[in-house]
Structures are given as C-alpha cells and as structure tokens.
A and B are shown apart, each in its own frame.
Chain A
Amino acid sequence: MNEHLVLTIALPLLGAFLLPIIMRSSLAMGVWIGPVILGYGCWILANLWLHGNEQPFSIAIGGFAPPLGINLYVDAMALLFAFATQLLGLIFWPFRLDQDTPKRQALMLLLVASSTGLALSGDLFNLYVFYELVAVSTFGLIAASSSSAAYVATIRYLILSGIGSVLTLFGIALIYAQTGTLNLAHLAQLAPDQLNNDLGLAAFLAILIGIGVKAELFPVNTWVPEVYATAASRLSAFLAGLVSKLSMLIILRLLLLIFHQPEATQVILILGILGVISGEFAAWRAKDMRRMLAFSSIGQLGVIFIAVALPDERGVLAVLALSLHHMLIKSGLFMLADHWGGSLERLRGIATTSPLAAGLFVLFALSLVGMPPLPGFWAKFTLITELAGQTDPLYMIGLLVFLLATVIEASYLFRVAAKMYQTKPTDIVRSNSPDSGSLSLTTASLFGAGLIAATVMVSPLGDGLQAIAVQAQDVDLYIQTVLQQPLGEGQ
C-alpha cells in the first residue's frame, strides 16, 4: 500500500505526457483525465492518512537503499502538504476550453506532480529538480494568459527564478563538495561535524535566497505583484496559496535537519521582518484588488518566515498553523478577486448586488486580521506567545513589527469592506462580470466553508498540528526512518 504513494507523482507525469495525444483524438475523454488523476491522488493520500499508522516511513525509488538512491520521506507534515497539493490542484483545475487547453492542462498536471514531489522528496538534488519543474511549468502557465502584461511579468519572473536556481544549485554543490552526499537524512547525520561552519552557512544562504524566490522572501520577491495581478486568478491562487508554502516547507526542513547555526535563523528573522514591513505598506497603498492581495501575501509570508526562525516545536506549530490558514484565506480571496475583477473603486456598494461575496470577504478579512473565534486568531496567538517568550531582542522587534502589520492589515482590509457596504452611487455603470464569475464564487464559498469548519474544530486541529510539529522536529526519527531500512523496498 505504502509504495503506491509514488503514483501521486508518477500518474500526473504520465497524464501530462499523454494528454496532448489523447485530446487530439477525443476531447471529451481528454478533459476528464486530469481531474480523475488528481482525484485518485487525493484518494491515495487520504487513505494513507486514515489507515496508516502514525510512524513516518520512507520509500526507496528504484529499489536502491536511501543514501545511495533517492527516497521519498513520508511523515504527517509531508502527507498533509501532498494532500493539499492534489486537492488544490483539483479545485483550481483550468477547465477553460480553447485551442491551448491540452498544453495548459498538461502543464498544470506537471505543476501538481512537481509540487507533490517537493512535499515528499528526501533528497536535496531531487528537490532541486522538482523545484525547477515547478518554475518551468509556471512560466508557461502564466504566459498562457497571453496578455502582453503577462508576458512582461513572466520575463521578470523568469530572470529572478533563473538567478534563484543558479544560487540554489551552487549551494547544493557546496554541500556535496563538503560532505559527498545529497540524501537529507545522511546530511542530517553528517551536518554537526561537517556543515556547522562558514561553508555550511554560505551554502544555506545560497539555498535560502534561491528557494526564497518562490517563497516570496524579501529581496527576491519583486516578481510577485506583477505576476499575481496579470496571471489567471486560479493560477495566482495556486501559486500564492500552495507553491509559496511548499518552498517554505523545504527551508523549514533544511533548517530543522541540517543547518543549526544561530546565524541562519537570524538572517531568516531579519528578512522576514523586512518582508512584513514592505509587503504590508505596499498593500496599504494598492489600488487594485489583486495587487493588494499580492502585496499582502508578501507580508503574510514574511510573518511565516518570522515563525520559521523560532527555535522549538512551538515554532514549527506556528509555521504550520499560519501556512494552512494563509492557504485557505488567500485562495478564497483570490477567487473573490476573480469574481469581481479590476480596481478597488469598482467595489463600492457591491454588498447590495452580491451579499454572499461581500460576506465572504468580511469573513476572510476578519480571520486574516485575527478575530478571536476564527482560526486566524489561534495561528497568530501561537506566534505572539512564542515570540514573547524569546530573550533575543531581535525577536522583540519581530513581535512589534508583527503587531504593527496587523494594524495596517486591518486598516486596508476594512477600508475595502467599508467601501463594499456603502450605498452605491448611481452614475457608475457596472460592467458585466466575466463568465467565470459564478464558478469562482462557488470556489470561494468552498474555502469559506472550510474556514468555518476549521473554526468549529479548532481544538482537535490544534492537537493534530501539535503532533505533526513534534514529529517534524524529531531529527533522530528522520535519520532512523530513512537509513535503518533493510535493502530493497520500503515496507
């Protein structure tokens, strides 16, 4: 049963290769292939989640035992993110039919396969390969929006991604030159002796900046506003909601397993604080809904980076809670932006014409700011108590900036909400909404329902995340699981 997990990566790849051929002969059959594959992937992962025992396990690909071959490492955290990937891939599936459909759907399948790989892989270079695949397939998907603004945005994204890839590869090369292995568990074993020095730190910084391009880390996030504002909203939602979190997950894993230098967390903390400040102020000034969401996403990711810099498993818990919360909220908000489209000025008085959408926006905004019964409050509360418990003054600055950011966030979100509930001036003629309006509203309601469900079940969810965090924190468990296996397949 466990070996079937590899199907969640292999089947989308197979589907992507075959999709253009099948669609040419039978479009009706072709359009179902992608959703069916992703649905099956969700089923495999959900099954493992429900029936698997709590212990993490490792799958050797190609039958070569881990330090020699590549392995997938499956613990609760990896399963959770792999499941989120397949599910969001299914929710944000590009249904639109035109002449580019085969290629767009094939690229989307590649994106989901590689994102799942990012969540599961236990090998540093394999992570890099999947990271590249994520990058290349998103280039195509963004450019497929085929407006000239999207082309310009893609070029900037492409250049930054290229720089990031080279830096990441350089960092990996340094690590390999120093240790002679690429397996994460093996590296975790060797790290205290061989990577606890300047060279290890340099390698970490190179990887941090490189992977940070997709995690919207402060200096390398200039592509974010343009891309999110011009790409299709469903794609923006997938990128902002999921791909950024997966990049964050890689950085978190590397930090937990390999790099224990205090300087590494300090750099992350400082960059995170700068990201919060720049993102939130830019969002406050934004005039366009998607642009506002893009900048606010930079700010939110900065908050998560601050949480990544926290030392013990409470920090990991804060990262998980904030990530999942942001995944729900940002996806929902991007769907609402898709429903309305355009500048914030056009939202004036919209609550009378579409009360459900306006209500959802208020719900998301309240949770994002951290209103008590909603899950956003618990995520932020965990972070605040944990930050307040630290002695280093840098964490205090982080706490202050975080509180200031919450105020700014509340200010611009409620400015928008207030605008919605104003009476509508009669002279503005509402342009007709795009066809995808009702579909995106349904999707947004789905995320709203998810948020309410999370509010109701906040205490079991908190316990579950706590267990996941404790497991992810356990370096010895990781090393044991991967390296102490009999040769052959991971049973």
Chain B
Amino acid sequence: MRNLTGLLFAGGLGFMLLSIAINLDFGTPTMLIGGAIQSNALQKTGATNIVTSVVLGYRGIDTLGELSILFAAAASAGLILGRRHTTAGTQTAGGFVLRHGGSMLFPLLMTIGFYIIFHGHLSPGGGFQGGVILAAAFFLPLLARPGAQLHHGTLSLIEGLAGASFVLIGLIALQQGKAFLQPMLIQDTLGVLLSAGTLPLLYLAVGLKVGAELASLLSHLAQTESDA
C-alpha cells in the first residue's frame, strides 16, 4: 500500500513535470530582472564578475541567510556528533608518500583557496568556492594522519568572527545612513584587485567562514567514523 502510494505520487509528479516542460520554451529565458541587473551592475557595485555583484550586492541578504544555514547545519551536527571521543590508533597510519604528499599539498591548496577568494569580484570563483578549497587544505593532512586533530576552538573562533564581520560590514553601512548591506567605498577603477569596495571583504568573510565550518564538520565526521 505504502509502495503503491509512493509510486502513484512519483508518477503523478513526473507527469506534471513533463506536461509543464512541454509548455516552457527552452533556451530563451525571460531576462526581465536579469537584463536590468546586467546593464547597471558595473557602475552600481564595481565588480567585473556580475555573479558576485548579484551574490553580495543585489541579493546580499540571501547570502547572509545561506551562511546562517551552513552555520545552523554545522552547529546541529556538532550537537549530535560532538558527544563521542576519538580513540586514536584504530586506523592504520598512512605511508611516507601519503603523509608527505598531504603536507606538501597544504600550502598549494591554501594559495589557490585564497587566490580564488580574493579574485571573486574579478573572475569566476569567490568565497564559497575558495572556502571549500581551504577546508580541503586542512582536511587532507587529517586523512593522511588518522591520529591528528584539528583545534576546534580555533576553528569556531574563525567561524564566529567571520560570520560576525559579514553582519558588521552590513551594519556599518546602516550606521552611515545607507541601507543594510549596501556596498560602500566603491572606487572608480574596474578590473583590478582593489576594486568593488566592500565586496571583496564580504567574500573574505564568506570564504573563512565556509572553510572553518566545513573543516570542523569534516573532522567531526571523521572522528565519529573512527569511533565506530
């Protein structure tokens, strides 16, 4: 009975999707808002990467919401997973090549991660993507040396301060008589590293927060796994 209802629901949903898809013209999107943003994003935000001007400017509060969702998810996972303690030495240690390979990759990953974060307003990339690479940089040595641990105190400090600075940059704009999260200090130079005003700062906060959060989440998971 349960299976049958599930099947009926899935079938009905599939039929609805198909009949809707037939009616939409594919490949010619309605660019009502998109077109307007494309035409005035450059002078409004100074970011040559228009995606960034949407993510941090036009829809900045959505990004703040996404950051909070990530924070809530990491905190919830911490609540559930954080009670156990790792028993070191249950996993075999990695070999020489694995350990030193992991260590050598660390500076490279850090460089790439920060490069992507700092150039988010100029080229594809930004805080979310760079943050994930930073998290990988910290997590890779952890995989190579099963006994090693990340310092959760430091991670949660970075996480909290980065999130708070995102909100604070928005509040400073409010303090100066502008709207909450309004981009400030927009220079008239385009396409150089120091441009687009506060947007790169916001992306740095996003990158650090995403990096710290994912790293601590992954290490929580790894510890719980080594427990089982």
Q: How far is the CB of A423 from chain B (nearest CB, A)?
A: 45
User: Which of A3, A14, A69, A146 interacts with B59 by CB under 8 Å?
Assistant: A69
User: Which of B33, B75, B153, B163 interacts with A24 by CB under 8 Å?
Assistant: B153
- Report the separation of the CA atoms of residues A182 and B170 in the bound assembly, to the nearest whole angstrom: 23
**Residue A6 interfacial (CB < 8 Å):** yes
Q: Which residues of B contact A106 (CB under 8 A)?
A: 71, 75
B80, A126: Cβ atoms under 8 Å?
Answer: no
Binds B, one of A129-137, A278-286, A340-348: A129-137
The size bracket of the interface on A is 35 or more
Q: How far is the CB of A135 from chain B (nearest CB, A)?
A: 9
Q: Number of contacts between A and B (CB, 8 Å)?
A: 169
Q: How far is the CB of A426 from chain B (nearest CB, A)?
A: 43
- Report the separation of the CA atoms of residues A329 and B34 in the bound assembly, to the nearest whole angstrom: 46
Q: Which residues of B contact A68 (CB under 8 A)?
A: 33, 36-37, 40, 58
**Residue A455 interfacial (CB < 8 Å):** no
**Residue A114 interfacial (CB < 8 Å):** yes
**Given contacts A3-B179, A70-B61, A181-B33, A20 and B72 within 8 Å (CB-CB):** no
User: Which of B23, B31, B179 interacts with A199 by CB under 8 Å?
Assistant: B23
**Given contacts A70-B61, A133-B68, A180-B31, A17 and B75 within 8 Å (CB-CB):** no
- Report the separation of the CA atoms of residues A179 and B61 in the bound assembly, to the nearest whole angstrom: 22
- Report the separation of the CA atoms of residues A61 and B174 in the bound assembly, to the nearest whole angstrom: 10
**Residue A253 interfacial (CB < 8 Å):** no
Q: Which residues of A contact B24 (CB under 8 A)?
A: 177-178, 199
Q: Which residues of B contact A62 (CB under 8 A)?
A: 57-58, 60-61, 179-183
Interface string of A168-199 (1 = CB under 8 A from B): 00000010011111110010000000000011
Interface string of B157-187 (1 = CB under 8 A from A): 1011101100110110110011111110000
**Given contacts A68-B58, A129-B65, A199-B24, A180 and B167 within 8 Å (CB-CB):** no
- Report the separation of the CA atoms of residues A107 and B72 in the bound assembly, to the nearest whole angstrom: 6
- Report the separation of the CA atoms of residues A100 and B83 in the bound assembly, to the nearest whole angstrom: 10
Interface string of A86-113 (1 = CB under 8 A from B): 0000000000000010011011001001
B75, A140: Cβ atoms under 8 Å?
Answer: yes
Interface string of A240-255 (1 = CB under 8 A from B): 0000000000000000
Q: How far is the CB of B16 from chain A (nearest CB, A)?
A: 6
Q: Which residues of A contact B179 (CB under 8 A)?
A: 3, 6, 59-63, 488-490
Q: How far is the CB of A213 from chain B (nearest CB, A)?
A: 14
Please provide the chain B residues from 88 to 119 with a CB less than 8 Å away from any CB of chain A in the complex: none
Q: How far is the CB of A321 from chain B (nearest CB, A)?
A: 31
A20, B36: Cβ atoms under 8 Å?
Answer: no
A136, B164: Cβ atoms under 8 Å?
Answer: no
Q: How far is the CB of B27 from chain A (nearest CB, A)?
A: 11
Q: Which residues of A contact B69 (CB under 8 A)?
A: 129, 132-133, 136
**Residue A377 interfacial (CB < 8 Å):** no
**Given contacts A103-B78, A179-B30, A489 and B178 within 8 Å (CB-CB):** yes
Question: Which positions in A face B, CB cutoff 8 Å?
Answer: 3-4, 6-7, 9-10, 13-14, 16-21, 24, 59-64, 67-70, 100, 103-104, 106-107, 110, 113-114, 117, 125-126, 129-130, 132-133, 136-137, 139-140, 143-144, 146, 151, 174, 177-183, 186, 198-199, 202, 488-490
| Cross-chain pairs A/B with CB under 8 angstroms, 7 sampled | A17-B159, A62-B60, A107-B75, A117-B65, A129-B66, A140-B79, A186-B33
